[in-house]
Amino acid sequence: MGELPIPAGTLWGAQTQRSLENFPIGGIESRMPLAVVHGMAIVKKSCALYHSDLGVMEDHIARAIAQAADEVLAGKLDRHFPLVTFQTGSGTQTNMNVNEVLSNRAIQILGGTVGSKDPVHPNDHVNRGQSSNDSFPTAMHICAAKTLHERTLPGLRILQTALVQKVEEFGAVVKIGRTHCQDATPLTLGQEFGGYLQQVEYGISRVEASLPSLYRLALGGTAVGTGLNTVEGFAEEIAAKIADETGLPFTSAANKFEALAAHDSIVEVSGMLNTMACSLNKIANDVRLLGSGPRCGLGEISLPANEPGSSIMPGKVNPTQCESLTMVCAQVMGNHVAISVGGAQGHFELNVFKPVMIANLLHSAVLIGDAAASFATRCVEGIVVNQDRVTQLLHGSLMLVTALNLHIGYDKASEIAKNAHKNGTTLKESAISSGYLTAAQFDEWIVPESMIGPSPANVTTE
C-alpha cells in the first residue's frame, strides 16, 4: 500500500484517500453523517486537552488540536469529510479521516506544512490513548444523544403541545366512534385526540427513558476493551470532559468489553423511535381519514389547505402532511430493521456494523423530530371541526342502539338495529315499531352526549 496522491486543497491524508478509492459506494445519501464526525471531534478535543493536563502532550499541540476540533464543530471543515457509511465496520476509516484532518489543520495553525505529520501526528497525537474500536462508539453515543435532545424531543414536544390544545378545543364535540372501520358508540373528538396525545406522550417518555443507555461511553476500552495504551483514570476523566463539552451527563461505561462488542443501547433507542413511528403512523392515518372528502368522505374535520393537491383536478386539496409523516414512519421502521440486524452481528470483542447502525439511528432521530414538528404546525394546529357533518353522522348511526342494552336486552336491541338497516328507517322509527319501548323512552335512553363515559354509580337502569 504505497502513498496515494491527495487532492490539492484538502486536509485529509492517505488513509482517507485509500478509503475513497476502496469504497466507491452510493452518492451523497451514503455519506457518513457529519454528526458522527462532530462527535469524533469532541472526543479528539477532550483527549488532547486531557493529555496536555497530564503532561504527556505538549500544550501548544493540544491547543492546536482543540482549535481544529472547534472548527470542525462549527462546520468550517465539513468538506474534508467525504467518506461513506459503508466502510470498515469499526468506523476506523472515519476515525482516521478525523485524525488526518485535525492533524493537518493543527499543523496549519502552528505554521507547518500540511501532510508532513510534523509537529502534529494523526496517530501519535490526535489518536493518542484511543482505538477506533472505542472512540467511534463513543462518538456514536455523543451524536445520538445530542440529536435526540436537539431534534427529536423538541419536535415531538411541538406535536404534544398542538394535541393538548386540540383535546381542549374538541372536548365538547360529541361524534360517532368507529371500530373495525364500522360505526361504533359515541365519544368526543377531544377523547379521540386524547388517545393520540397519550401515544405521543408515551413515546416521549420512552425516548427519554432510553437516553441513559447512551450516556455510557466506551472510550478507554481501546482495542478489545482492556484499556491498553491508556492510564488509570483516563476513561473517567475523558467522560467528564465530554460531559462538560456537551452539557450532557456522560459517564464512562462500567464494562468496556460490552461497550465495544455490543450496541444494545443503539438498538434500544431505535426501538423507541420505531414505536414512535408506529404511533405517528396511526395518528396520521386517522387524521387523513377523518378529514377525507370534502364531500364524499367522512369529512368530520377539515385539514389546512397548504398547497394545491393535483396537477389535473382543480381545487383538490390533499392530506399531504399526513402522507409525508407516514412515509417518514415507513423509513424509520426500515431503519430499525437495519439497526436490529447490525446489533445482532457482534462477533467476539467487536461489533463491526457500527457505521450503518449510527447512520440509520441518526436518520430516524432527525426524521421523527422534523416530521412531528411539521405535522403539528402545518396540520394539527389548523384542524377545524365540521359540526354539521359530525352531527349528521352521529345521529344517523345505528350503534346508538347500544344504550338500549341495559333497558331491553341485547337481543331486542339487535333486532331494532337490524330492522332499521334492512328497512332504511331511522333507529327511533324501528325502535317504536318494535313495541319494546315508547318514543319517550327512546328519547330518554338514547342521548349521545350521555354515552361518552360510565354512568354515575348511583344511577339505576330500572
Q: Please list the active-site residues.
A: 180, 310
Q: Following CA atoms 241, 242, 243, 249 in sequence, which dihedral angle do they give, to the nearest 10 degrees?
A: -130
Compute the Cα dihedral for 269, 275, 277, 283 and give only its sign.
negative
Query: What are the residues whose beta carbons fall under 8 Å from the beta carbon of 244, sequence distance 6 or more?
Result: none
Which residues contact residue 108 at a Cβ distance below 8 angstroms, ignoring those fewer than 6 apart? 11, 114
Backbone angles phi, psi at 196, to 5 degrees: -65, -40
Cα separation of 20 and 359, whole Å? 18
In terms of Cβ atoms closer than 10 Å to its own Cβ (0-12, 13-18, 19+), residue 154 is: middle
The answer to whether the CB of 449 falls within 8 A of the CB of 174 is yes
The DSSP-derived string for 389-405 is HHHHHHHH-GGGGGGGH
C-alpha separations of 184 from 110, 364, 394, 406, 422 in Å:
75, 36, 10, 17, 18
218, 138 contact by CB (below 8 A): yes
DSSP string, 205-259: HHHHHHHHHHTEE-TT-TTTSS-TT--TTHHHHHHHHHHHHHSS--EE-S-HHHH
Q: Are 82 and 16 in contact (CB under 8 A)?
A: yes
The angle, 0 to 180 degrees and rounded to 10, between the axes of the packed helices 34-54 and 354-378 is: 120
Q: Which three cell numbers stand for residue 346?
A: 457482534
Q: Find cell 404534544 and name the residue.
A: 160
In which element (H, E) is residue 373 found?
A: helix 354-378
User: What is the distance between the alpha carbons of residues 50 and 237, in angstroms, rounded to a whole number?
Assistant: 8
Question: Of the candidates 90, 94, 84, which has an alpha carbon nearest to the alpha carbon of residue 37?
Answer: 94
Q: How many Cα atoms are found within 13 Å in the side-chain-facing hemisphere of 459?
A: 8
Sequence-separated (6 or more) residues with CB below 8 Å from residue 11: 77, 80, 100, 101, 104, 105, 108, 114
Q: Which residue has the cell 496522491?
A: 5
Residue type, 44: K
Distance between CA atoms of residues 209 and 336, nearest Å: 18
